[in-house]
Every structure is written in structure tokens, then in C-alpha cells.
Structure 1
């Protein structure tokens, strides 16, 4: 069958590779196709596959232009399913699927998840626990909105991802610095234009955790498992690890809230990733992502369940009922790592990691000779990850911590004068 993939993400290239291996045909539409071979070891082989077509389109982020392109591709070679692993393109995927009459999420549901201010406004007054918030669509009104919410607060673009430009503000100096930084941000790269909407939210202290779900259709929401997501220190919010497991003490409440949230937002299709902060009064909704969880988590889901979740996304887009990756007896988790200081990567060694029980795999994202920033602002500062297994999340996290200490990272950081 023929799958249209609207952009992707580095780890999602595994889904394209898997679909090709199963005999499907894949057309990848991207503003910058050269991006993927630079970040995924699977991309080069996928691009060279005879059943893979890569279409470069500088207008791929324009929904009208994208629909027109999809209709052309469909006329040339009928498309059987439309999907994406990219947070930036969930609304685009829903719109194309609707235009072609193929399975997909409702456009309104996709938009309510994609734009964080719509999530907040749609759920306001429904009884779902959310932080106090203010929404502005004019950067000149951010200052007044911050004062309305009060310090400390969290400021975030409504359409951001990977914790990019999400900041904890504690005082007026933080606010002034943030406004100066945001003034220069007009896009997120690769053709993704930033919308002007900004959220200012009450700061909720507590652990970040997510619920992974699959919506099989209206009224059929299946909550699969929970992922813990330890964060770096303030003022930025960088995810530093993840463990996929079953049996969190608040799991029943988290699952019930997630079902209600997805129903209220009109999210009626697909794998969904919903984040919460475990505040003093209970779980507080952080955000909803209308796509499969990113990063290493799909790999953790496969290790624990035996189910390739990337392929299940494709199966569902093709109108099939996906196999669901419930956590199994083995718990899987991983930690990301970055550079302690800006410099140039000379080598990243993992030779000592197999000595730690439960070692599964490790991957470096940066090649020798690559300049890297200090791990400080967003998930884009990661330079690699490690994955371990264990009997439960405590054992997995201890093994990951030991593994981090055994990574041999060599960098060139400048010449003394």
C-alpha cells in the first residue's frame, strides 16, 4: 500500500524503514529532505530504497499548498494512508487525510491539541485541572499577561515543541531577557513558521509524567501506559530521561483524566501523548500532543511490549486496527545526555556500558568534528542517549545513572591564550 508521510522526525525514520521492509511504498514530503540523513542512520538506506520516493516542497507547511500537492501525488499513484511523526505537522496531516477521504484525526481535534492556547481555552471550565493561564497573540501584551498570572510563571509559544523557548520566569529581569529572545524567533526552522500566540501559565511544581494512549475511533480511547520524564533544572525545561511502565500510584486518575481530555478536545484518532505535572493537589494537565510520543519512548515501548509502535501508526493510517503496545514484564528506560560546555565533539565512547546490568543500546547523535552547544535550553541540545532495562522503573533509573557515568565523551573546547 502507498503511504504519504508528511515530514517525520529523526527517530521516526525507523517507521519509514519498517514500512518499506513490509512491502509498502512510502512518499516522504519534506521542506528539507537533506535534514534526515544528517540525523538518522536509517535515512540514507530508506531514501535509496526503490519503493521510497522523496518529494521536496518548500510549501509543505502551507496547508492549502500541501493539499494541492497531495492531490497531485494521489492522482499519479493512489495514496492509501497519510501520517506523520512530526509534532509540527499534525494539523497538516489531518487536513490532507480529510481532503483525500482517508483515515485520520479530525482537523479541529488536531488543532486543539497542536495549539496549546486552544487546549487551555477548550478545557477551561470543564473541570479538568489546569494551571491558571493567560493567552496573548501580541508579544507587546506578554508583560501585562505575566503580571496578571504573577511570578513565578512559565512562558511558552503556543505551537512550540521539544521545550524550545519554554522558560521559567522568576522576576522582571527574567521577563525582560525572555522578551528580547522571543523577538528574534519567527520560525522553528525547516519551513515551520511560528504563530504569534503565547501562553503564560502559573508555575506548578511537581514531577512531569505522560500518558501514552491510542484512540481507535470516537468513543474508543485506550490508555496504554505511563512514561516518567525527569527534567533538568530551571530556567529551562529539558527532558533528560524517560521510563515506560505500568502501575504508577496515580495511574487510574491519570487514565481517567486523559480519556476526558481527549473527548473534550475532539481527538478521535491515532496515538496520543498527554503530559501532566504532578502538583500538590494532584495531576495538572501540561499539554496534549496529537501524535505518537517522540524521542526514545517508542523504542522503550517496543522493548517492553514487543510491539513496533512506529509500524502501528502506519497500520492505523491504512485503516487497520493497530496492535497496542501495553507495558510488559520488562521495564525499559533511557537517559539523554549533552555537553557540559560548548565545543567540538572529538569522540563519544560507549565501550564500558555493557558492563552495567540491563544495558540495551546507546546512540550518539553528533559525529566527530561537530560543534555542539552546552546542554542548556531545549531537547535540541541532546547529543545522545542510552537505554537500559530492569524489573521496575527504580532499577532502570539507577542503571541509567550508572551508565551516564561510564560514557566517554571527548571534546575540544578552545585554546588557552
Structure 2
């Protein structure tokens, strides 16, 4: 069929009618036709997430996909819009799409024809099983998805598994979540069940006639146990699959229950018999009681079902994206087709519960139970597929968990799971709710789309070879090669240490003397020559070591890889150049402040004579700091010229010592004075691609322990008001543009003064220590993964989720803690590691040696706690620090936590 004929057929289809109707409901423009010729190399590595389905069940998913990844979410109604090609890897097939409806960030849709067809990076099957609608122009081939190389979302197998009532009931039990007492009769089942669970009884029936006596006996025992617990009703569900019939019976009517079970066996179905869960009775409402009495109508008994939509997040966590309720009469089974969706809060208020803390507790309880169930299900899928190879097996990323809210004898509330919805049905149900609440469009499936995007990006990154310049000291950068293995990335590490701990952990290790940064141009050429001589294919180049930022830029330039210019790398490496770039920047924009507003006054000190008269150029007290370096090594607060000269001489003496690389910078011994900016300290971690900031993560830092400036405490998310946070992001954008950074993940440090942000320094690589782990825990975003993508020239599609928790931590240092933490029985590293494994703290090791007499103070390790709020986390951390001796006279933790104040308004 040619394209013109295909388009005409599409426009006459029910699919097209439903799509335009749905877009009209949201006041979005009609679909536009266009042809895309995509033959340029720059468009090869692009996200292509294909949804097979119809608009009535997944339009909200596709619109949200357009927001998060414009042009990357594609809707197709038929397999005729797709084609498969063999790959070079065994029997795997590459899936390509030649026609699709695409979505952009503004809700516009396009009927696109791709020349050549686009390679699919994620495929999910939401095709309807309703043959009456005939939306899909060709029946779905169940074997179609079995040999695809791309990641898979919803599949026929996952739908069948989630529809299995007995399997989901067993997994609910594994999650330690309440469920009704269950008796299952399996008629000639081929599915083995691990059913050694309390309250779940599974009886195998091989022969219908011989099994009736067994059925009667098991039913009698089961119903007797229910009556002993005071339960009055029984539910019979015919068919293991969720689509089966449901009937209700009195527990006294054993004959009726028996008849319903036998009738199911006559239909060659398996049957579940379970206790009926009574819904929490609504509290009396005075005005409704008066209306009933005045009109003379007694309202029917009501029931309610509660559905929690729970999604997998990009990094494998679980997140409830919404909780929706349906109220109906108690004499029928409630589901989305016979109830109108309302929020949990609306339902609880209607039920007479108006205490806010009580409502929040119920929401938290349901959220915890639903997330635990998906967590158990995810582990089950991993075990089920463990014999398969590769990293892109089908993964269930969204389910619906249906609860009944009950009241216990002690007046506490509990949520009992009565069923689990498969992914296809859950997505369709979210759309029903969002159609009635347009302001919530996409919110229920937002984590799901983020996961789809993330798995697509992992697929694009798989097998890429990244040249890593420098492996850092010891094992403090081992998270890089550990992550590379997880993302199926091949690391080619170049490092001067032939015995580096990563030599056997990476794909390829090359020993090369790259330490003499004064000859970076020559070293870059030597590195490139080694790469070409060994015939290595390099897809990207990056570094996580501060010393090698300029060298990395030079290598990227030589290999024509995406990266920053050597000029930009030099400007951010040299702190004097950084401040001068801001002060000398002539860029003027009516939209943004001039970058010079973020600069601090500086005074260069190359030799002792430069200190004399410095007070005429810069106000004391000031900060004496090396021009190069990181982690505040060698940084001092000096009150006058005399103290400045003394500190300068002391630092120079250490730097010139032949047997000491105290700062591990190798760039030079130059120093400078910087104006002291009064205010709170903050770090901003940003993700940049092609000069645009795609994401920014703000952390707060505690006060300095003068006269030193090593980090004392930190907090994430930031406690700053939102407008102050945006002020920091704007300042970051202006500063990185001023020095010329364009592509990568960077850390920028500021002081937030009474007059606004002042730049401390720009680190031309991703932040070190614990911050990568923190961003992963709080925002479910891995900045190292994004760095891999950018290095390989793949545009990251990143939309951080709302903060999942509050983290607050303290840094333990050589001068303040080496002696105290080395005494047995108080808080050795081993004791803290054990506390970390038990979940009491979050422990991040940095320096293995507890040497108190270091030339400069160094961080030993970082200790943090997680809380629901700033106040809760502060309280927990203070207790931990007192318990393990981290707080002492030299280290007043309570003062270091004082800037972290919870806002009392939204």
C-alpha cells in the first residue's frame, strides 16, 4: 500500500476519529500530516518510543510522552505501520516504524511518514482486545514481540501474569500486605504455584467428578474458619484470569457456594473462593440524615473501591502516582465502568473523615502497601527471566492495586488488597480520571513515561565505548566503572598508575603519563595516537577528575567528539580566569542579569611581594585560595595582610615539598585573594547539552569551620524559597555561558548573599563525594548516566521527579574526627558501615586513612540520614552524631545544621 492510500485509510478509521475527538476534548489542534526525511547522521541516535494502541486508552500517556520527549513518543494502531529487520546478534530483530502519530511538547500531533524508517528504542503493546471496536487495522500477532532487540513495556505475557488472580494474591502475601482469606480450586492447571502462605489454600482438581468430594470437604473447612472469624459473606470468582465472573454468597449458604464452584468447573475454569471484605462504614452526616427523614427515603448501603496507580521510576524504585476511588452500591462489584472516579481525599471527606492528619496517614499507608507490591512483582519478574541474557527484557512499569478500606477492632484503619489490575487496564483507567480532571493530565503516568525514556536511552547507550581520562586516587571513583557495567557501557580508562585498582574492572586499561598538565597539548596528541594505534573505537570522552578537565577538552577536539572547547575548560579550571570571564563579559540581555553581578573581586598573588598593599585592592577579611584545586584544600580565611602572608608561605612550603602532592592538582602553585561574600553556601549540579541547561539540582551547605572551608554539612533538596532557587539557576546559566561551557555535567558553587548569588567556583566535571548518590535518591536521576549520554552525543531527555525524601548529612574530617573515630567501641568505620547496612545511616567512604596530622584537612567519610521533612531529618542526624561521637568540641554539629530551616509556607 502506498503512502497516499494509507493516509486515506487512516483518516476513515475509528482510530483517527477517536484521536481527533480526544484532542478536541483538551482543546488541542487537529493532527497535521507531514513527511520527515531523516538521512543526516545527527538524527540517528534518537528516542523512538512506540505505543501500539488506540487513543481512547492511552492518549494521556502519549501527550505526556510528548512533554517529556518531544517527537519521541509515537502512537501506531497497527503492525502494518511497523517493520522488522534482522540484526547481527543471533535471532534478534530490529523494529522500525515508517508511519506514526507523533506528539510535541505543546500537545500538537503529527501524522508522520519517516524516510528512512526510524529505529524503535522502546515498544509497548496497549492494543485493545475488544474486537467490536476494530480500531487496530490488523489483529495483533502474539509472537511479534518475542524476538525484538529493543526494551519492551507491556507485553502479552506480562498481561497474562498480572491477570492471574492466584499469582498476584501470592505476591501480595509476599509483600506482607493484607488480603482476604483465599481458597483456590485449580482445574488441570499447568501453572505451578508456590502457595505455602497463610490464608491462601490451593487445591488441585484433575478430574471433575472425583474432585467434587474434595471440593465439598475443603469448602466446609474454609467456610467454617471464616464463620469462626465472624465473616458473614463469601465471594466466588470463576476463572483464574481477572476477567472472570464474580458472585456473592452468604457464608451460611454452603450449598450455594458449592453450586457456584461446580458450575465453574463445568466451564473448565479454575475458581477462587475468598472472604468478603466489608468496606468501612461512613460516619453519619447530619444534613443527609435530615434529608432522608424529611423525604422518607432510606439510602442504600454504599461501598468503595480504592485504586492506587504505582509506577516503576527510571532507576528501579516504586512510586504511587495517584490514588483514585469509586463509590457505588454495596450489592454489586465495583470497577471503573460502573463508578465515577474521585480523589482519595474527596472519598474520605464524604465518608465523614475530616481530620487532615488522619487522611494523610491513610494515604501514606495505601502508598506504602502499593509500592511494596510492585517491588515484590519486579523481583518476581527478574527471577522469572534470570535465564535470559541481555539487559532489555520486558519489565512491568505500572500496575493498579485495588484496596478496600476497613476498620479494625481497635478503631484503626487498614487497607486490604482485593485485586491487581494489569498495566493495560491501569493506563486506560488513568485516562478516565484525567479526562474529568484536565489539570492533572499526564500526572498518573508521568513516572511511567520517565521510565520509558530512561530505558530508551539505556538502549541507545548500550555497547558504547567511552574514553575516561583519569581514574582518580584509590577506589574513590569506582562508582564510574560499576555504573558503566550496569549501563552496558565499555570504559577505556587512561591513567598514569599502572597498578590502578580499576585496571581489571574496565573494558580496556591504558597506562599513560598524563600528569604533567603543563604539556596537555602534547599529551592529548599522544593519547589520540595510542587510541588510533590500538584500533579502538571511541564514541565519547569524559573525565570525573578535576585535574584532567582541560586535557579531556583537548582530546575531544582531536577526536572530533562532543565536549567543551579547550578555552572553556581552561577558564573554569583557573579560578582567576573564571572570575575575569564574568567581570569582562559584555553580553547584555534584557531577559537576564549581566554575569558581572555574580563575580567577586579578586587579587592575584604569585609571590610574597604581591601581598603587600593588597588591602588597597581588596577588603579584608578575605579568602586566600589556590588558583587550581578542589575540595577547599589550601583555602584559608585571612584577616589582614600579615595573616595572609603567613598563610601564603605555609601553603607554598607544602606545595613545593618534593615528597608531597597535598592538593593533587599538578597545575601550579599560584594563589589569589577573593573577596569574602557573606551568606549561605549552595551547590548547583547542572546537565548541559548544546549550550542548554536541561536539569539543575540545588543543595545547601552548612557554615564553614573557620579558618578552614572544607564542607561541614549538606542538605538536599534545598531549603531556599523557590524564587531564590530560581535565582541560583539563572546565575548558573549566566556563569557557565560566560566561561563557554556547553556539554556535560558540572558542579557550580555559590554564596547566596543578601544582594543575590556570588560565584565561588565552577567545577568543569560532575560533582564528587556523595552528591551523585543524593541526586539519585532524591530525584531518581543519575547524573553519571546523563554524563555518559552527553559524552556519546546523545541528547538526554531528563525530567526529574518530585523529591522523594529529604537528605541531610555531615562530613567527618581528619582534624576533627581521626582521633575520636579510631578508638575502638565508639564509631570506627566498620561500626558505621554496619549502621549503614542496617538502614540507620547513609555512609559514604572517602579517605581510608585516619591520619590526624595531614598538611591540609581532608574529608574521611560522609554520614547522612533520610527523613520526610527537614525537621525530621535534622533531629535524626543530630541523634546519630551524638550516638557515634561525630559531634564534639571541634565539631558542633547542631550549629552546622542551623541554616537548614523548613519553610512554613508552600
TM over 0.5: yes
What are structure 1's unaligned runs of at least 5 residues?
38-42, 410-417
Could you give the per-residue CA deviations for residues 1-60 of structure 1, whole angstroms, max 9, x where no partner exists? 2211111445432122221343332222222355x64xxxxx4xxx32372424242556
Whether contact under 8 Å (1:208, 1:277) holds in the other structure is: yes
Counterpart position of 1:22: 487
Q: Distance in 2 between matches of 1:213 and 1:165?
A: 26
Kindly report the root-mean-square deviation, in angstroms, between the aligned alpha carbons of the 2 structures: 2.9
Q: Distance in 2 between matches of 1:50 and 1:215?
A: 26
Counterpart position of 1:415: none
The equivalent position to 1:49 in structure 2, one of 483, 500, 505, is 505
Q: Offset of 1:255 from its aligned partner?
A: 1.2
Counterpart position of 1:212: 685
The equivalent position to 1:226 in structure 2, one of 692, 695, 698, is 698
Counterpart position of 1:414: none
- Structure label with greater radius of gyration: 2
**Which deviates more from structure 2 when the two are superposed, residues 223-232 or residues 180-189?**
180-189
Question: Secondary structure of 1:389's partner?
Answer: strand
Counterpart position of 2:469: 6
Gap change, CA 1:189 and 1:319, over 3 Å in 2: farther
Q: Distance in 2 between matches of 1:3 and 1:352?
A: 35
The equivalent position to 1:350 in structure 2, one of 794, 819, 832, is 832
The equivalent position to 2:582 in structure 1, one of 86, 103, 123, is 123
Counterpart position of 1:407: 884
Q: Distance in 1 between matches of 2:818 and 2:505?
A: 37
Counterpart position of 2:803: 328
In the alignment, is residue 92 of structure 1 matched against residue 569 of structure 2? Answer: no
**Which deviates more from structure 2 when the two are superposed, residues 278-287 or residues 153-162?**
278-287
Q: Offset of 1:230 from its aligned partner?
A: 1.4
Q: Distance in 1 between matches of 2:799 and 2:672?
A: 33
**Which deviates more from structure 2 when the two are superposed, residues 159-168 or residues 147-156?**
147-156
Gap change, CA 1:405 and 1:66, over 3 Å in 2: farther
Counterpart position of 1:113: 572
Counterpart position of 1:373: 852
Gap change, CA 1:259 and 1:276, over 3 Å in 2: same
Whether contact under 8 Å (1:360, 1:388) holds in the other structure is: yes
How many residue pairs align between the two structures?
394
The equivalent position to 2:865 in structure 1, one of 388, 392, 395, is 388
Whether contact under 8 Å (2:744, 2:765) holds in the other structure is: yes
Q: Map 1:253-332 onto structure 2 (within 5 A).
A: 253-324=727-798, 326=800, 328-332=803-807
Q: Distance in 2 between matches of 1:60 and 1:80?
A: 26
Q: Distance in 2 between matches of 1:393 and 1:224?
A: 20
Whether contact under 8 Å (2:611, 2:644) holds in the other structure is: no
Q: Offset of 1:172 from its aligned partner?
A: 4.1
Whether contact under 8 Å (2:686, 2:696) holds in the other structure is: yes
Could you give the per-residue CA deviations for residues 196-216 of structure 1, whole angstroms, max 9, x where no partner exists? 442212212221112221111
Q: Offset of 1:161 from its aligned partner?
A: 0.9
Whether contact under 8 Å (1:7, 1:85) holds in the other structure is: yes
Gap change, CA 1:354 and 1:267, over 3 Å in 2: closer
Question: Secondary structure of 2:634's partner?
Answer: coil
Q: Distance in 2 between matches of 1:315 and 1:332?
A: 27
Whether contact under 8 Å (1:236, 1:377) holds in the other structure is: no
Q: Map 1:238-253 onto structure 2 (within 5 A).
A: 238-245=710-717, 248-249=720-721, 250-253=724-727
Whether contact under 8 Å (2:494, 2:512) holds in the other structure is: yes
Question: Secondary structure of 2:649's partner?
Answer: helix
TM value normalised by structure 2: 0.41
Could you give the per-residue CA deviations for residues 181-238 of structure 1, whole angstroms, max 9, x where no partner exists? 13221484697423344221221222111222111112x1234221111143111101
Whether contact under 8 Å (2:571, 2:578) holds in the other structure is: yes
Gap change, CA 1:157 and 1:376, over 3 Å in 2: closer
Q: Distance in 1 between matches of 2:688 and 2:476?
A: 22
Whether contact under 8 Å (2:628, 2:665) holds in the other structure is: no
Gap change, CA 1:170 and 1:107, over 3 Å in 2: same
Q: Distance in 2 between matches of 1:3 and 1:95?
A: 15
Gap change, CA 1:317 and 1:127, over 3 Å in 2: same
TM value normalised by structure 1: 0.84
In the alignment, is residue 143 of structure 1 matched against residue 612 of structure 2? Answer: yes
Q: Map 1:65-84 onto structure 2 (within 5 A).
A: 65-75=522-532, 76=534, 77-84=536-543
Question: Secondary structure of 1:48's partner?
Answer: coil
Q: Which structure has more RCO (C-alpha within 8 Å, separation ≥ 6)?
A: 1
Gap change, CA 1:149 and 1:59, over 3 Å in 2: closer
